[in-house]
């Protein structure tokens, strides 16, 4: 449902019914002299008077059959501003006709519902009937919801007559675009290219389909507007054209261009200009200091040029729709599809941002899928002669090979945990890899359009240990939890003991003479705390065994809480003597493809699911990491 | 209970107003059902108060009934109704000296509508400027053309068009 209809529906539902009160309070109307009745004048389009010569032709839109049907015949000349309608070329779709009843009925059915009455797909129930018409014509009748459509085909399968019911548009919606096309084609069976320009809803009572026709050899062109309510071919008024053109520029500019002032109201001027024998509409949109100028051909209403202000970076990129339009203009291409359907993204080449637009293949002869680049700030079309044609065409395998090359390992040596391909907020497509390589967990992002490595994160031991510190604070008995993290089976691991253990039996108090001197050197508040001491000779082994690091790595390993007592070659840290078992909740474990084991637990501190990764190491396990676990991984 | 709305063209509205002048209550009922929600919405956008808007809705059609004899058709029946509505709103505001509108959410708390519709009306009154509200109501609910709205609000057609599209975009972003 459109936003307009939603608003209408909401206010309809919200409005209270006070009709009873109103009628109670309304007595006899106050006596007044009724004003002379003025019947509203039926609007007569200016083209009816101006184009008197074509009026008779247009009048061939004859309503017959009790006045309830619009009959359309192939002799109806439409609004053809160039007045040079050719007659060459075959009729559309007439080659090798399939004249079976089923085929004709099927073709006819396609012209009614659900396309025909767009707002109501429910109750779609066609009744088809075929009979032989006069002069070897075939008459197909379709009944739908009380409406009757009639199609007349020649013996060559060409549609020559179409009767569409004048629906109650308020209740049933517009005629279909397909019907609008057929109405126009009945006048131009020699058209080679038919382009529907969409439905222009001017108001609830005013809506048009725009249908553009081009001759086979481009020697003529015609633009039609078909009333979406009645199927009549009409020429819109200047005001309607103004609305249509402004809407077009609106779609092109917003929402990305001038994004800093999206909700500002631009000044818009529309002017019909005659210059050097040419006539065109000029639409000037002024938004702040930026002025966009659009030119539309006055006859075809085709966009013919755009002037884009030279924006600075601070103003943001131009709209990608504007870029697409500019490109299509430059290459004299018809959109052929909605601007929203074009594949367009931002790429950075040489430090500059460009819109990379894929122009799809229109047909087999003319155009293959083409990559084009438009400067994202100035709208200039840029050609990169020396650009690798595969630029932007990296597939998954190529991306994977580039990542392996970057990490310096072979594909056999790396275990890929997961990959992802997606678009980031800037519109760039990236591949993301998470893998075990070089004995580490690696996260690598690579730009899909260039193969450029965007980021590389390594989950190394220092990060893991930093994570320990984050989780358990600076006051921790590294000695204790390091020693007690050695388990023959990780499933038996007591996570509380691992991280919070302060088993007094592990407390080592060296009875050495220097202890008093050292103790007295401590700040007073630290003297109240217990301390664990470990001999320097053992420390290297402990760190290596349980953390995979050496003493030399300690400064980078968040072991700042561990103090070296250089005097005696021992290490000390403040012991943690809290035994708080309810701080943890274990959630089981799983074995990864490479043999590593992940233990899952929830910490009361972080309230988040965490995972400890262990790597088998002899009889026990090496603590590889302890990180927050992202469920999306 | 919501209005049992019906759709009608400008010509039918004209005809019903003239019939009101002759005492045709059915015509008044038809006119009310075709335009009541637009009148209510317009009043709500000015008054920001459900109860006051309901009073104006009532007063507006009583005025229509009493003034229909003096109605001169210019093909703008909706503009006539909106003018009456606006006059009643301003009259009420002058009477109440309530120039500072209440918070939209507060005054709409008792709105009798489905949650979706209620939310739409609330957001409509919350995120759109008063001028945008009137433009959207006149076009989307009252069915006025942009050119008519421009005349009624003394704005350029293109300005109305731009503001309408901008307002719709704001609502789309919101929902």
Please tell me if residue A15 touches chain B, with a CB cutoff of 8 Å: yes
Q: Is the pTM of this model over 0.90?
A: no
CA distance B51 to chain A (A): 10
DSSP A206-271: EEEEEEEEEETTSS-EEEEEEETTT--EE---HHHHHHHHHHHHHHHHTTTTTGGGTTS--EEEEE
Out of A15-24, A162-171, A280-289, B128-137, pick the least confident: A162-171
Peptide bond into A114 cis (omega under 30): yes
Q: What pLDDT, on the 0 to 100 scale, is given for residue A14?
A: 84
Better-predicted residue by pLDDT, A329 or A21: A21
Highest mean pLDDT among A503-512, A539-548, B53-62: B53-62
Report residue A22's pLDDT band, with 50, 70 and 90 as the boundaries. confident
Whether residue A425 has pLDDT greater than 80: no
Contacts of B2 in chain A (CB under 8 A): 12-17
Task: Note whether A265 contacts B9, CB cutoff 8 Å.
Answer: no
Is the model's pLDDT at A229 over the cut of 80?
Answer: no
Please state which of the ranges A525-534, A596-605, B28-37 shows the lowest mean pLDDT: A525-534
Half-sphere exposure at residue B165, Cβ-oriented, CA atoms within 13 angstroms: 22
Residue A209 near residue A231, CB atoms below 8 Å:
no
Q: Going along A145-216, which residue ranges are E strands? A: 147-153, 159-165, 191-203, 206-215
Higher pLDDT, B140 or A489: B140
User: Do B65 and A250 lie within an 8 Å CB cutoff?
Assistant: no
Instruction: Provide the b/e sequence for A446-469 (b: ≥16 CB within 10 Å).
Output: bbbbbbeeeeeeebbbbbbbebbb
A&B contacts, CB < 8 Å: 179
> Which position has the higher pLDDT, B28 or A38?
B28
pLDDT tens, position by position, A26-73: 876 654 433 333 333 333 233 332 323 332 232 223 222 333 344 443
Q: Does A57 touch chain B (CB under 8 A)?
A: no
| Pairwise pLDDT comparison (A559 vs B157), residue with the higher score | B157
Give yes or no for residue B72 having a pLDDT over 80.
no
Give the Cα separation of A458 and A438 in Å (integer): 10
The residue-averaged pLDDT of A318-343 equals 72
The predicted model gives A608-624 an average pLDDT of: 63
Comparison of pLDDT for A420 and A464, the residue scoring more: A420
Q: Cα separation of A574 and A528, whole Å?
A: 10
* Of B14, B28, B124, Cβ closest to residue A7: B124
pLDDT band per the 50, 70, 90 thresholds, residue A579: very low
CB < 8 Å from B in window 210-239 of A: 239
Distance from C-alpha of B57 to C-alpha of A21, rounded to nearest angstrom = 10
The reported pLDDT for the residue numbered A207 is 77
pLDDT over 50 at A590, yes or no = yes
Q: Which of A136-150, A548-562, B100-114 has the lowest mean pLDDT?
A: A548-562
Name the 3-class secondary structure at B135. Answer: helix
Rounded to the nearest angstrom, the minimum Cα separation between A377 and chain B is: 24
H-state helical runs in A446-604 = 461-472, 478-483, 495-500, 515-521, 524-527, 536-547
pLDDT score, position A447: 80
B76 contact A CB<8A: no
| Range scoring the smallest mean pLDDT among A153-162, A173-182, A386-395, A586-595 | A386-395
CB contact under 8 A, B163 and A265: yes
Query: Does the beta-carbon distance from B162 to A243 stay under 8 Å?
Result: no
Average pLDDT over residues A213-225: 65
Whether A23 sits inside 8 A of B7 (CB atoms) is no
- Note the pLDDT of residue A265: 61
Nearest CA to A200 among A230, A235, A227, A178? A227
Contact residues on chain A for B70, CB-CB shorter than 8 A? 32, 35
Q: How far apart are the C-alpha atoms of A126 and A277, rounded to whole Å?
A: 52
A130: phi then psi, degrees, rounded to nearest 5? -125, 140
Whether residue A591 is predicted with pLDDT greater than 50 in this model: the reply is yes
Residue A140 has pLDDT above 60, yes or no: yes
> Any idea which of A115-124, A511-520, B29-38, B98-107 has the lowest mean pLDDT?
A115-124
* pLDDT greater than 80 at residue A618: no
**Helix or strand or coil: residue A187?**
coil
Q: What pLDDT was estimated at residue A87?
A: 28
Q: What is the rounded distance in angstroms from the CA atom of residue A597 to the CA atom of residue A89?
A: 73
**pLDDT for residue A77:** 29
What's the rounded Cα separation, in Å, for the pair A373 and A355?
A: 5
Beta bridge partners of A570: A535, A565
Q: Indicate the pLDDT class of residue A560, thresholds 50, 70 and 90.
A: very low
Residue A506 has pLDDT above 70, yes or no: no
A340 touches chain B (CB under 8 A): no
ipTM of this complex prediction, to 2 decimal places: 0.87
Q: Note whether A28 contacts B57, CB cutoff 8 Å.
A: no
Contact A149, A163 (CB under 8 A): yes
Q: Reply yes or no on whether the pLDDT at B161 is more than 80.
A: no
State the pLDDT at residue A350. 67
Give percent of chain B with pLDDT exceeding 70. Answer: 80
pLDDT of residue B57: 92
Averaged pLDDT of chain A: 60
Cβ of B69 within 8 Å of Cβ of A13? The answer is: no
Min Cα–Cα distance to chain A from B100, Å: 23
């Amino acid at each position: 449902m459109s936003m307009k209809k939603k608003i209408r529906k909401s206010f309809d539902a919200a409005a209270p019914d006070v009709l009873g009160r109103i009628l109670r309070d309304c007595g006899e109307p106050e006596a007044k002299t009724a004003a002379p009745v003025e019947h509203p004048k039926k609007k007569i389009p200016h083209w009816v008077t101006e184009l008197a010569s074509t009026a008779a032709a247009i009048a061939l839109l004859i309503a017959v059959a009790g006045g309830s049907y619009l009959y359309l015949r192939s002799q109806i000349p439409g609004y053809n501003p160039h007045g040079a309608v050719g007659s060459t070329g075959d009729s559309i779709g007439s080659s090798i006709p399939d004249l079976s009843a089923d085929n004709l009925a099927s073709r006819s059915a396609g012209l009614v519902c659900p396309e025909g009455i767009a707002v109501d797909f429910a109750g779609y129930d066609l009744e088809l009937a075929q009979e032989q018409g006069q002069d070897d014509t075939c008459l197909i009748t379709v009944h739908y919801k009380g409406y009757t459509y009639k199609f007349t085909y020649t013996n060559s399968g060409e549609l020559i007559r179409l009767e569409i019911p004048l629906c109650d548009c308020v209740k049933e919606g517009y005629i279909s675009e397909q019907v609008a096309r057929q109405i126009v084609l009945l006048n131009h069976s020699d058209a080679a290219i038919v382009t529907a320009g969409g439905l222009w809803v001017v108001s609830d009572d005013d809506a048009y389909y725009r249908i553009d026709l081009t001759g086979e050899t481009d020697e003529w062109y015609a633009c039609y507007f078909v009333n979406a309510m009645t199927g009549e071919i009409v020429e819109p008024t200047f005001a309607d054209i103004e609305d249509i053109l402004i809407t077009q520029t609106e779609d092109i500019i917003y929402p990305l261009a001038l994004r800093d002032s999206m909700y500002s109201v631009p000044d818009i001027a529309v002017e019909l200009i005659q210059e050097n024998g040419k006539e065109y509409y000029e639409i000037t949109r002024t938004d702040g200091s930026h002025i966009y100028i659009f030119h539309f051909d006055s006859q075809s209403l085709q966009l013919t040029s755009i002037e884009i202000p030279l924006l600075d970076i601070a103003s943001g990129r131009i709209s990608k729709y504007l870029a697409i339009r500019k490109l299509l203009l430059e290459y004299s291409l018809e959109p052929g599809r909605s601007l929203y359907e074009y594949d367009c993204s931002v790429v950075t080449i040489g430090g500059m941002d460009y819109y990379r637009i894929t122009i799809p293949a229109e047909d087999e002869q003319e155009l293959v899928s083409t990559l084009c680049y438009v400067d994202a700030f100035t709208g200039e079309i840029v050609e990169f002669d020396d650009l690798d044609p595969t630029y932007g065409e990296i597939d998954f395998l190529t991306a994977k090979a580039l990542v392996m090359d970057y990490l310096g390992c072979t594909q056999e040596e790396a275990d890929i945990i997961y990959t992802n391909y997606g678009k980031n907020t800037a519109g760039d497509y990236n591949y993301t890899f998470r893998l075990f390589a070089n004995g580490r967990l690696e996260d690598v992002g690579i730009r899909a359009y260039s193969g450029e490595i965007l980021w590389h994160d390594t989950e190394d031991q220092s990060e893991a240990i930093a994570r320990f510190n984050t989780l358990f604070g600076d006051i921790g008995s590294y000695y204790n939890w390091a020693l007690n993290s050695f388990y023959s089976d990780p499933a038996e691991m007591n996570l509380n003991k691992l991280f919070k253990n302060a088993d007094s039996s592990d407390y080592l108090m060296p009875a050495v003479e220097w202890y008093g001197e050292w103790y007295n050197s401590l700040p007073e508040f630290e003297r109240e705390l217990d301390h664990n001491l470990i001999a320097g000779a053992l420390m290297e082994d402990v760190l290596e065994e349980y953390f995979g690091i050496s003493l030399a790595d300690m400064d980078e390993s968040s072991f700042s809480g561990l103090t070296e007592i250089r005097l005696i070659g021992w290490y000390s840290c403040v012991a943690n003597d809290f035994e708080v078992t309810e701080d943890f909740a274990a959630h089981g474990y799983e074995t990864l493809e490479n043999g590593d084991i992940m233990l899952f637990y929830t910490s009361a501190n972080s309230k988040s699911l965490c995972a400890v990764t262990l790597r088998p190491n002899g009889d026990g396990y090496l603590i590889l990491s302890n990180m927050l676990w992202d469920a999306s991984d | 209970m919501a209005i049992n709305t019906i759709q009608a063209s400008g010509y039918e509205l004209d005809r019903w107003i003239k019939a009101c002048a002759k005492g045709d209550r059915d015509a008044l009922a038809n006119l009310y059902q075709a335009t009541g929600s637009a009148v209510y919405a317009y009043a709500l956008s000015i008054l920001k108060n459900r109860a006051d808007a309901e009073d104006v809705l009532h007063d507006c059609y009583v005025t229509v009934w009493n003034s229909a004899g003096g109605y001169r058709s210019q093909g703008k029946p909706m503009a006539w109704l909106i003018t009456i509505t606006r006059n009643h709103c301003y009259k009420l505001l002058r009477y109440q000296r309530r120039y500072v509108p209440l918070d939209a959410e507060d005054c709409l708390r008792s709105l009798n509508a489905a949650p979706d519709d209620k939310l739409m009306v609330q957001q409509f009154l919350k995120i759109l400027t008063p001028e945008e509200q009137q433009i959207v109501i006149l076009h989307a609910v009252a069915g006025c053309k942009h050119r008519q709205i421009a005349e009624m609000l003394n704005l350029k057609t293109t300005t109305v068009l731009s503001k309408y599209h901008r307002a719709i975009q704001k609502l789309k972003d919101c929902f």
